[in-house]
Amino acid sequence: MQEKITFSQKAIFCLKKHTLKWVLLGCLILLIVIALCWWFHEVDSLVKIATILSACFAGGSVIYLAKQIGMMIRQDRYQRSHEFIKRFNSKEFIEIISNVKKCCEVFEDSNKSDNEKWNYVEADPKRKQDLNMFLNFFEELGLMYNEKLTNKKITKGFFKGISVGYFEKCYLYIKDRRIRQNHSTMFENWEKMVEELKKQ
């Protein structure tokens, strides 16, 4: 299996690569200026020009590197968003969704009590596992979305209807689970993402 290159590794590689290039170019320019000033015996001019060029080189390097890092961050967000889409469309997850849909039908049945809905999930270990994996998927997506670690345009375009729809269907179960497990912040990242998506 090919080892996955992390964002930090890519950033370090890019910084090393482009910093070396700019340092060499800056040194070449400085050497040319120093040689010319020395040739014409302009010592004062040499100091002033070297100082100005050094400042310009440093400022330009910072701007250039900032742009490179910004580009890598955008690429990383884009890649992470597509990884979520790929996971959601995987064969394994499609099978999970089929079980979740059955749970949602029970959750929306007004003739069933909260206990009956809870027991429906608890009665089947596979059903419970699939529902937990589904809820945790959207909680993870919500965390990445809220922390600006995904491309919001891509995430919104693919997941808005799905995320909002399933959260509303599962909300009574989530609310009941928060109470039963005394965990008021359970799935709060998913909920926060849904609230933001609804505004857009």
Distance of alpha carbon 93 from alpha carbon 97, whole angstroms: 6
pTM for this model (two decimals): 0.71
pLDDT of residue 70: 72
Domain ranges (residues) in the chain: 7-78, 89-199
Residue whose tokens read 């912040």: 185
Give the model confidence (pLDDT) of 156-195 as tens digits: 999 999 999 999 999 999 999 999 999 999 999 999 999 9
The Cα–Cα gap between 74 and 39 comes to: 48
pLDDT band at 66 (very low <50, low <70, confident <90, very high): confident
Scanning the chain, the segments in alpha helix (DSSP H) are 7-39, 43-88, 91-107, 114-122, 125-146, 152-180, 188-199
**Ordered DSSP codes for 62-102:** HHHHHHHHHHHHHHHHHHHHHHHHHHHTSHHHHHHHHHHHH
- pLDDT exceeds cutoff 90 at 123: yes
